[in-house]
Structure 1
Amino acid sequence: MEIRTASDSDWPSIYRFYSVIMCQGTTYAYPEGQTLEEARSWWMEEPPGRTVVAVEEGEIVGSAKMGPNRPGRGSHVGTASFLVDPARHGRGIGRALGEHVIDWSRAEGFRGIQFNAVVETNSSAVRLWKSLGFEVIGTVPETFDHPEHGLVGLHVMHLPL
């Protein structure tokens, strides 16, 4: 698997699974039903952030976006978000993207990585991030309206670098 910086021409391929994931409504509090162009700014990061794609056999199978969690006095802590094509779950794509983000964040001089909103019922993501050294440092109750479970919490997760 190759992980490389995303180009503008990659966006339609990312959007193919971005739109499916947002329509499922189980992992992101992003607007549903976005068009290709409406969704672009929600995923394609501008510097100092970065968006990457995971490519397997010439096909984009996942993506991550990363950058400072906050501007100014909060810019020493990074954040990231991840998408894996639902048809490709369980193949290590999320782990490879997570490891890439951790390596990039260290190289960029971030002091830590903070995930602001990991849906507590997303057990595979929580398990993955914990296996990569992240800790749940708090859960904000009933802040995500899950289509199956109703109001559930959002974990704040942190990894010191």
Structure 2
Amino acid sequence: MLIREAAADDWPRIWPFWRRIVAAGETYAWDPSTSEADARGLWMAPGKRVYVAEDAAGVVVGSAYVAPNYGGPAGRIANAGFMVDPDHAGRGVGRRLAEHVLTAAKAEGYRGMVFNAVVETNPAVRLWTALGFTVLGTVPEAFEHPRHGLVGLHIMYRSL
């Protein structure tokens, strides 16, 4: 699997699974009906370093970004987002992307990474804890999950 920085022309290969994941309404606190233009602005915004994971055939199977979570004196705390094409889930893509992004964030001078809103029913919570993230707190019943009803949003952190 190749993980590389995304180019502008990668967006059409990210958008199909981005739309599918967000439309499902299970893991991201973004509007499930987000337009393609708005989605591109959210994922590929200036100031974000975006990555893609490609399989051996050159198919984009996942994407991630890293960006400052705060500004000014707290600007060395990163935030990141991760999406793996559901058709390629369970093959280690998320872990490989996460390991790559954590290494890249540290190399860029970030001291830690925070996730502001991890849906507590998201299977990725297991991955984040396995990679050393801790739950700092949970906002109870903050997320309207389509299958589980009201569930919490974790705030997770890891030092780099």
- The TM tier, using the shorter chain, reads over 0.9
Matches of 2:21 and 2:104 in 1, distance apart?
25
Equivalences for residues 78-93 of structure 1 within 5 A: 78-93=78-93
The alignment yields a C-alpha RMSD, in angstroms, of: 1.0
Matches of 2:134 and 2:49 in 1, distance apart?
24
Structure 2 counterpart of 1:137: 136
Deviation, structure 1 residue 32: 1.7
Q: Deviations over 1:47-95 (max 9, x none)?
A: 2x20110011210000001111111122110110100000111000000
Q: Please tell me whether the aligned partners of residues 12 and 36 of structure 1 are also in contact (alpha carbons under 8 angstroms).
A: no
> Quick one: which amino acid aligns to residue 25 of structure 2?
G
Structure 2 counterpart of 1:151: 150
TM-score, length-normalised on structure 2?
0.96
Matches of 1:4 and 1:86 in 2, distance apart?
20
Unmatched tracts of structure 1, length 5 or more? none
The 4+ residue runs of structure 1 with deviation greater than 4 A are: none
Q: Please tell me whether the aligned partners of residues 117 and 156 of structure 1 are also in contact (alpha carbons under 8 angstroms).
A: yes
Matched length? 159
Equivalences for residues 33-72 of structure 1 within 5 A: 33-47=33-47, 49-56=48-55, 57-72=57-72
Structure 2 counterpart of 1:74: 74
Matches of 2:115 and 2:38 in 1, distance apart?
24
Q: Deviations over 1:21-45 (max 9, x none)?
A: 0110000011122232221101113
Unmatched tracts of structure 2, length 5 or more? none
Structure 2 counterpart of 1:121: 121
Matches of 2:150 and 2:33 in 1, distance apart?
21
Q: Higher mean Cα deviation, 13-22 or 30-39?
A: 30-39
Structure 1 counterpart of 2:109: 109
